[in-house]
Amino acid sequence: MILDNRLRAARDPTGETLSTGGRTRQAILARAVKIAAREGLAALTIGRLAKELEMSKSGLFAHFHSKEVLELATVEHAKQVFENAVLRPAQDGENGVARLWSLCDLWLSHIERSVFSGPYFFTGALFEYADRPGLVSDSIKRATQEWLSALRKAVEDGQTLRQLGRSARADQIASELNGRLIGAYCAYLLENRRSFREARAALRARLRDLATTAIPASAFESDGSWKRYAQKRTRDAPKDR
């Protein structure tokens, strides 16, 4: 059975081993996220998932008692996937501009690596559900706000560290950068294969304009120059005694 193969590989998005019931649920949600990323949440039905995973409707219904519950669980699973691919790795480096760049770079990278199997999950879901009342809409909007909050917090940290000027509001900068990322993906979908490279160059240029003299302009010239600058900062950082 298709589900049997998925069960052997199924783990919680955090990487922890799951019980049989937990593995079944994760396998179902992994397929649900793939469908929703390609076709939207409206394409999800218990009957379709049961057929694709070769399991009974009653067995699947035991995990999700309604379409709304299935949609909510799918959004939560997608959120965990996104956190593992973008938000958590960005926390490993320095805060401020370094973290802001990492968030943007990882966002583009997760699209390049097809972490989701179709158009960026949350943008599609937001357009599909944002103007509707209900728990699914609320969940999608919360996930989107959490992403924007991560960008805003990185900007605020950069301003506190005097790496970024304070002439622009942090939420405005976060919204602008998010718009540039979404625009790059739209260009990619329109078959501009250079869109991600061009987006990174445009993002570096914007960060250079926003940065104070605490960060040399030469650091923003290329991906390589930024990596060399970051490595030098790491080497020069005082070590804990």
In the DSSP assignment, the letter for residue 240 is: P
CATH 3.40.50.300 fits 1-65, yes or no: no
Class of domain 68-236: mainly alpha
Asked whether 184 and 123 are in contact (CB, 8 A), the reply is no
* Every domain range in the chain assigned CATH 1.10.357.10: 68-236
- Which ranges in the chain are annotated with CATH 1.10.10.60? 1-65
Give the CA radius of gyration of the chain.
20
- Say if residue 170's pLDDT is above 60: yes
- pLDDT tens profile 207-239: 999 999 999 999 999 988 988 888 887 777 665
- pTM of the entire predicted model: 0.85
Cα 34 to Cα 15, 37, 121, 190, 213, distances in angstroms:
19, 5, 9, 21, 45
